[in-house]
Amino acid sequence: MELSVENLGVARGGIAILEGVSFRLRAGEALVLRGPNGAGKTTLLRTVAGLQPPQAGHISLDRDAMAYAGHADGLKSSLTVAENLRFWAEVFGTSDISSVLTAYDLLPLADRRAGNLSAGQKRRLGLARMLVTGRAVWVMDEPTVSLDTTATALFAAAVKRHLDAGGMALLATHIDLGLPQATTLDVGPFRAKQPALDDFDEVFL
Amino acid sequence: MIALLRRDLALAVRAGGGFGLGLAFFLIVVTLVPFGVGPDGGLLARIAPGVLWVGALLACLLSLDRIFALDWEDGSLDLLATAPLPLEGLVSIKALAHWIVTGLPLVLAAPFFGVLLSLPLEGYVPLTLSLALGTPALSVIGTFGAALTVGIKRGGLLLSLLVLPLYMPTLIFGADMARRGAEGFDWSTPGFLLAGITCGVIALLPFASAAVLRVNLR
């Protein structure tokens, strides 16, 4: 399996942000997106994950191959850790959550309500969700926010196992995860040139 | 899809889930009306079907903005949109969960609340039947409104304004069916029209809701 993105253009709020983005990911490879705040990393990831249509260009894999994790973890505070995870496992049609709980050291917290977890524990639970999706391409936006060094190592190990099993990962992060398979892509050079507004557009701005 | 329904129902009955909010509001309306209009049994019996229907509709309206807002805030709506579940299925399940949590309790409670408004004896069957036929349409139309306003902070007012005109046909035929029943007339014609509206919105609106949700998630 291979994810190839060709000449992709993305927009946010009707304004083009990136254009001409091309990269290629083979099975077992990871790509780390870099760039300053507002450079368009999140928009690019959301487009690749299929949450918004591209302005231009082509993404080779269907959205059904992607598992997306955004800034928010999508946890329900009144459900327990195990219930949150089991829900996503059922939605994605997988069943094994105990090994996933172990992978992120969540087993002692399994019966705790998600609302009572610390920020780092919530993030770990959010990342554990990726393991139950059973999908090939992980598309993750700032996955290491609020993780301590131990949890970051757990996350890096989980990504490494995923890559070793033939998966792919597309990450926007500024932390070096120590992945030998990872290449880095700076989105800065792909910044879209602002097209001149015509009169019709100006009316709405 | 069953997993989503189970989760929504579990969330509704847990602390802060909003189960019983609509029912409590319905009870408040129905108990306050006799105090407001005075102890005239004949007058109460005459307005009972209309009051019960308006009360049920407003109770339904009260909980609409929660359908997508909570999932939007904690990010799970984005994650559900990338899940294997089609968005049309997602909005249908959301509407079903809303009906089970809000509409079904109203249907079951309406006969007891009818007593408070001295509803005539022959009016109970058509009243319950009209609510059973009409409240699913309220939930499905409400889900469409909630999909339109998802992501707007405090979108409740806009949601109510958008949804109210769409509720009119259901209210007119539902209340007419209950009123004719209470007065001892044949109530089959408004009943069929009400059932037709409900079947129509269940068949068509999930596609519209999924389409606007897709646009709003961009």
Residue B19 pLDDT: 77
Residue in A closest to B13 by C-alpha: A78
The boundaries of the domain holding residue B103 are: 2-217
Tokens of B139: 């939930």
Residue B15 pLDDT: 67
User: Residue A185's pLDDT band (boundaries 50, 70, 90)?
Assistant: confident
**Is-contact A191 A41, C-beta < 8 A?**
no
Q: Does residue B16 have a pLDDT over 80?
A: no
Mean pLDDT along residues B20-34: 89
Residue B178 pLDDT: 92
Distance (Å, whole) CA B103 – CA B53 = 12
**Is-contact A157 A102, C-beta < 8 A?**
no
Residue in A closest to B16 by C-alpha: A78
Q: What are phi and psi of A204, to 5 degrees?
A: -95, 5
Residues 94 to 133 of A: which have CB under 8 A from any B CB? 129
pLDDT in tens, A122-141: 998 888 888 888 888 999 98
Q: Between the CA atoms of B116, B120, B126 and B128, what dihedral angle is there, to the nearest 10 degrees?
A: 20
Tokens of A169: 């990962």
Residues 8 to 37 of B: which have CB under 8 A from any A CB? 10-11, 14-17
Distance (Å, whole) CA A95 – CA A30 = 26
Q: Which of A44, A64, A78 to mutate to test binding with chain B, by most B CBs within 10 Å of its CB? A: A78
User: Residue A203's pLDDT band (boundaries 50, 70, 90)?
Assistant: low
ipTM of this complex > 0.85?
Answer: no
Distance (Å, whole) CA B78 – CA A139 = 13
Least confident of A188-197, B59-68, B73-82: A188-197
pLDDT in tens, A14-65: 788 888 888 888 888 888 988 888 888 888 898 988 888 888 888 888 878 8
Residues in chain A: 205
Give bridge partners of residue A12 from the DSSP assignment.
A15
Residue A205 pLDDT: 55
Size of interface A-B (CB pairs under 8 A): 70
Distance from A67 to chain B by nearest Cα, in Å?
7
Residue A200 pLDDT: 63
The C-alpha R_g of chain B, in whole angstroms, comes to: 18
Chain A residues in contact with B17 by the CB 8 A cut-off are 78
Q: Does residue A199 have a pLDDT over 70?
A: no
Tokens of B91: 């909005």
Chain B residues in contact with A73 by the CB 8 A cut-off are 74-75
Number of domain units in chain B = 1
Distance from A185 to chain B by nearest Cα, in Å?
24
Residue B133 pLDDT: 94
Q: For chain A, where are the E strands, in sequence order? A: 2-12, 15-26, 30-34, 56-59, 66-69, 137-141, 168-172, 182-186
Nearest to A192 by CA among A58, A14, A3, A23: A14
A91 interfaces chain B, CB cutoff of 8 Å: yes
CB contact (8 A) between residue A67 and residue B82: yes
Chain B residues in contact with A68 by the CB 8 A cut-off are 78-79, 82
